[in-house]
């Protein structure tokens, strides 16, 4: 392809709304343009990279035995109501009514549809296992789209779904996808880590997340210093904290007037105390049930751990009326005292149980109480009471005695064991060898195609632009003609370009009649792995310059040797990735 025939609208200025390198460089290098908040048009260079990523994904999915299909982006609401995920997704799901009055959704994922297909087509154990996948656009109405395609509303996703007859077969399908993902991310040139993860809205019994460590990533990876344990923040388990030394002769609880001070920060400032001395009491609704979670003031509740503690049924923060009814006080003044008799579950974090004494809400508007002793003033055991891990891990925590370390990352893929969560509700069943009816076991496996592209840029860039891994670069080679208005230079550059194309190399020829400095700036910005520079002086001497984008220095080769040398370098770069 020739640059003069392609739309590659590079820009010098950093976009004002672009916060991270991938977003900035995808705009500056002309890979995409913003249409509206969280939606983008992919231009030729960006689309070429996406196609290469999709090609790698297809090759590995097909090699693992998965079969490609394509499902609708518009899905009937009835399917989502059958699984209850119309409620679970909430406002993130885009819903609309068609001209016939039927409610539909723009697909945020496709578990319901693929299970509906399986229910209609699978009837015998002889048809199992089967793994169906698609690569398609998804839509989630993110409240705050940010970081370009790392947190967008519309995105391209590879989603696969396996149907299995028994747990052993599901484990085989799960491992096949797990291994395929390792190959995919390696071939895309990504350095990744695999962590244990919560299933979240997907449900199921197990999950692993593939994450690219990166300072700008929104996911938090938690791992032990020796690398024997790794999980995302939603899954990371923490050891109970050591019991604080008992305080001799703690006096009875004492009310303190804290007018209009309902937050931890405000109460600490007023009482000259620290957040870790506070006990915060959170009240949740779970259908008709009320649940209370008790944490230390400096800790955050982990919603996934709370859901798991409640048997996989999500709870949401109670409304003001419920809080007043249960605590007898306004929002911000609830305490754990007396709660066990009023609620369905009283869940107390380990860190609270380890406290010797603390400060809590008094269950009375505008009042807190000090001298609160866990186990004395509220129970740590009982029919409705459990002490367990329900908080996010923080610096200083340990897992199985080993110190935890934290770093940011970008989630690029996740695999799930779904079990019968969807198949039981949508009727995906089969007859086993004895003729008995069984429910299919399912797994699901997702990859963010756009996120692979953005992640590669996040971890491979410098002050001048992108440094693509060769496997997903828009082109493998860039031929830059410095003096395109010189007939001999133009003829030599054209000949090299044509020969590279004849030898099946993926080449971009910068044939623009612009100054060399402008071309070099653009070349570094778009990040093609190998550049051949053809200039007037070099042509006179029978030489060209060859440079790897990732290296500062270049090498020279004769015009006759140039194509062979480039072919050799391409082989070396692929060998590095494929290892």
pLDDT tens, position by position, 234-280? 889 999 999 999 888 899 999 999 999 989 999 999 999 999 999 99
Has residue 406 got a pLDDT over 90?
A: yes
Tens digits of residue pLDDT in 374-383: 999 999 999 9
| Residue 468 contacts residue 476 (beta carbons within 8 Å) | no
Length of the chain: 579
Mean pLDDT in residue range 104-118: 97
Tens digits of residue pLDDT in 449-489: 999 999 999 999 999 999 999 999 999 999 999 989 999 99
- Output the pTM of the full model: 0.88
What is the full DSSP assignment across 219-259?
EEEEEETTSS-EEETTT---PPPPPPPPPTTPPPPEEEE-T
> What does the pLDDT read at residue 294?
98
pLDDT range class, residue 563, cuts 50, 70, 90: very high
> What does the pLDDT read at residue 119?
97
> What does the pLDDT read at residue 218?
87
Give whole-number Cα distances, 36 to 10, 146, 532, in Å.
Answer: 20, 12, 38
Mean pLDDT in residue range 115-144: 96
User: Is omega for the bond preceding 243 within 30 degrees of 0, making it cis?
Assistant: no
Mean pLDDT in residue range 114-130: 97
Full set of structural domains in the chain with CATH? 15-189+421-457 (3.30.930.10), 254-388 (3.90.960.10), 475-578 (3.40.50.800)
> What does the pLDDT read at residue 202?
46
Rounded percentage of the chain residues whose pLDDT exceeds 90: 88
Nearest by Cα to 133 from 419, 411, 415, 444 = 444
pLDDT range class, residue 205, cuts 50, 70, 90: low
Distance CA 386, CA 383 (A): 8
> What does the pLDDT read at residue 17?
86
- Supply the mean pLDDT for the chain: 95
> What does the pLDDT read at residue 216?
86
Sign of CA dihedral 363, 368, 369, 370: positive
């Amino acid at each position: 392809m020739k640059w003069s025939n392609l739309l590659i609208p590079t820009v010098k200025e950093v976009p004002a709304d672009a916060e991270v390198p991938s977003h900035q460089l995808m705009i500056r290098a002309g890979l995409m343009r913003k249409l509206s908040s969280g939606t983008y048009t992919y231009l030729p260079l960006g689309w070429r990279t996406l196609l290469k990523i999709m090609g790698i994904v297809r090759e590995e999915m097909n090699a693992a035995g998965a079969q490609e299909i394509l499902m609708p982006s518009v899905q009937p609401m009835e399917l989502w109501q059958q699984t209850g995920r119309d409620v679970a997704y909430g406002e993130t799901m885009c819903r609309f009514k068609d001209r016939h009055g039927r409610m539909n959704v723009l697909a945020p994922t496709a578990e319901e549809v693929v299970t509906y297909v399986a229910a209609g087509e699978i009837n015998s154990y002889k048809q199992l296992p089967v793994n169906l996948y698609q690569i398609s656009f998804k839509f989630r109405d993110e409240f705050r789209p940010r970081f370009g395609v790392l947190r967008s509303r519309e995105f391209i996703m590879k989603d696969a779904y396996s149907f299995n007859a028994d747990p052993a077969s599901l484990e085989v399908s799960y491992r096949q996808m797990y291994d395929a993902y390792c190959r995919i991310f390696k071939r895309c040139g990504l350095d990744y880590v695999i962590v244990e993860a919560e299933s979240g809205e997907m449900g199921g019994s197990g999950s692993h997340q593939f994450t690219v460590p990166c300072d700008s990533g929104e996911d938090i990876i938690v791992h032990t210093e020796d690398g024997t344990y790794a999980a995302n923040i939603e899954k990371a388990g923490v050891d109970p904290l050591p019991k604080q030394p008992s305080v001799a002769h703690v006096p009875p609880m004492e009310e303190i007037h804290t007018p209009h001070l309902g937050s931890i920060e405000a109460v600490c400032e007023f009482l000259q105390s620290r957040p870790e001395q506070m006990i915060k009491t959170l009240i949740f609704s779970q259908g008709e049930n009320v649940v209370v979670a008790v944490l230390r003031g400096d800790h955050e509740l982990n919603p996934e751990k709370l859901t798991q503690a409640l048997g996989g049924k999500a709870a949401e923060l109670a409304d003001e009326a419920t809080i007043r009814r249960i605590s007898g006080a306004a929002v911000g003044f609830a305490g754990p005292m007396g709660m066990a008799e009023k609620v369905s579950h009283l869940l107390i974090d380990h860190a609270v149980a380890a406290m010797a004494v603390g400060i809590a809400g008094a269950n009375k508007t505008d009042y807190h109480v000090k001298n609160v002793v866990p186990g004395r003033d509220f129970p740590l055991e009982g029919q409705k009471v459990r002490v367990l891990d329900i908080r996010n891990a923080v610096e200083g925590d340990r897992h199985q005695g080993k110190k935890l370390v934290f770093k940011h990352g970008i989630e690029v893929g996740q695999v799930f064991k779904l079990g019968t969560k969807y198949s039981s509700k949508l009727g995906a069943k089969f007859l086993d060898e004895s003729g008995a009816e069984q429910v299919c076991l399912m797994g699901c496996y997702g990859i963010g195609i756009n996120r692979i592209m953005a992640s590669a840029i996040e971890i491979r860039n410098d002050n001048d632009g992108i440094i693509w891994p060769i496997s997903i670069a828009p082109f493998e080679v860039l031929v830059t003609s410095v003096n395109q208005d010189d007939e001999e230079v133009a003829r030599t550059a054209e000949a090299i370009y044509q020969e590279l194309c004849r030898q099946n190399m993926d080449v971009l020829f910068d044939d623009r009649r612009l100054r060399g400095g402008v071309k070099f700036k653009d070349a570094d910005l778009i990040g093609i792995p190998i550049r051949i520079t053809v200039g007037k002086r070099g042509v006179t001497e029978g030489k060209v310059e060859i440079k790897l984008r990732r290296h500062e220095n270049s090498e020279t080769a004769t015009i006759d040797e140039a194509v062979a040398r480039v072919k050799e370098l391409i082989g070396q770069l692929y060998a590095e990735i494929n290892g």
